[in-house]
Amino acid sequence: MKHTVITGHYGSGKTNIAVNLALEEAKKTDKKVFLIDADIVNPYFRSADNEDILTEAGIELIAPMSANTNLDIPAMPATVMKVFNTDCKVFWDVGGDDAGAVVLGRYAEDIIKQGYEMLYIVNFYRPMTSNEDEMVSLLYDIEAASHLKATALVNNSNLGDETVKNTILETEEKMKRLSELTALPIKFTSANEKKASALPGCKPIKMVTKKLW
């Protein structure tokens, strides 16, 4: 598959996951890797903030015209179209919820033709997504807005620096139920690389997104 689309609720850790997956891919492939910052909604946590890290790894960042500015121009640049005409691997960091997923609708047909996976990032410790039913409702809204179907779940439940082993373990049953309700597999459970060693089976994730405090 050519495209990996990262979606989820605001603050679920989408951007951090997207950047980590792109960096991981760049280390193991000879193909060009793109990271598309498709977040035209949230100005705080976005892939464009990691441009230096991405450039150093040979990853080309494509971001909205308003990224890293104080402008509010909800539009993607025309350069997005080049990823559909190049032999490459593409990661999409999509804005939170259905409002942020709307931008994908424009590209959905081409993404489907070239093959994709859409990962639904879950953090049960975020407001408005503390239970499985809320997660399912949000997922369906995202799918409707993006014209794409999720293919797998990622458990990124955490409390930031306050995360301990049980923080993640206590969400396992919720993830299993969410998987049953959505008929989607759990692709992986992620944890801060500093915590992952105490959690066998967890995918270590480097924290690259900035803090607001």
Which pLDDT tens digit goes with each residue over 115-170? 999 999 999 998 888 889 999 999 999 999 999 999 999 999 999 888 888 999 99
This prediction has a pTM of 0.91
Q: Percentage of the chain surpassing pLDDT 70?
A: 89
- Extract the runs of DSSP E, i.e. beta strands, from 39-185: 59-62, 88-94, 116-122, 152-155
pLDDT number for residue 35? 96
C-beta of residue 74 within 8 angstroms of C-beta of residue 40: yes
How many residues does this entry show for the chain?
A: 213
**Residue ranges of the chain with pLDDT lower than 70?**
41-48, 65-74, 210-213
pLDDT number for residue 121? 97
pLDDT number for residue 111? 97
Residue 156 lies in a domain: yes
Residue 69 lies in a domain: no
Task: State the Cα–Cα distance between residues 143 and 146, nearest whole angstrom.
Answer: 5
Residue 188 lies in a domain: yes
Task: State the Cα–Cα distance between residues 112 and 138, nearest whole angstrom.
Answer: 21
Q: Provide the CATH number for the domain around residue 98.
A: 3.40.50.300
Closest to 4 in 3D by CA, of 187, 191, 193: 187
Residue 182 lies in a domain: yes
Residue 72 lies in a domain: no
Residue 11 lies in a domain: yes
pLDDT number for residue 100? 84
pLDDT number for residue 93? 94
pLDDT number for residue 66? 57
Residue 74 lies in a domain: no
C-beta of residue 14 within 8 angstroms of C-beta of residue 94: yes
Q: Which domain holds residue 112?
A: 3-64+80-205
pLDDT number for residue 128? 81
Structural domains in the chain (count): 1
pLDDT number for residue 177? 97
Residue 212 lies in a domain: no
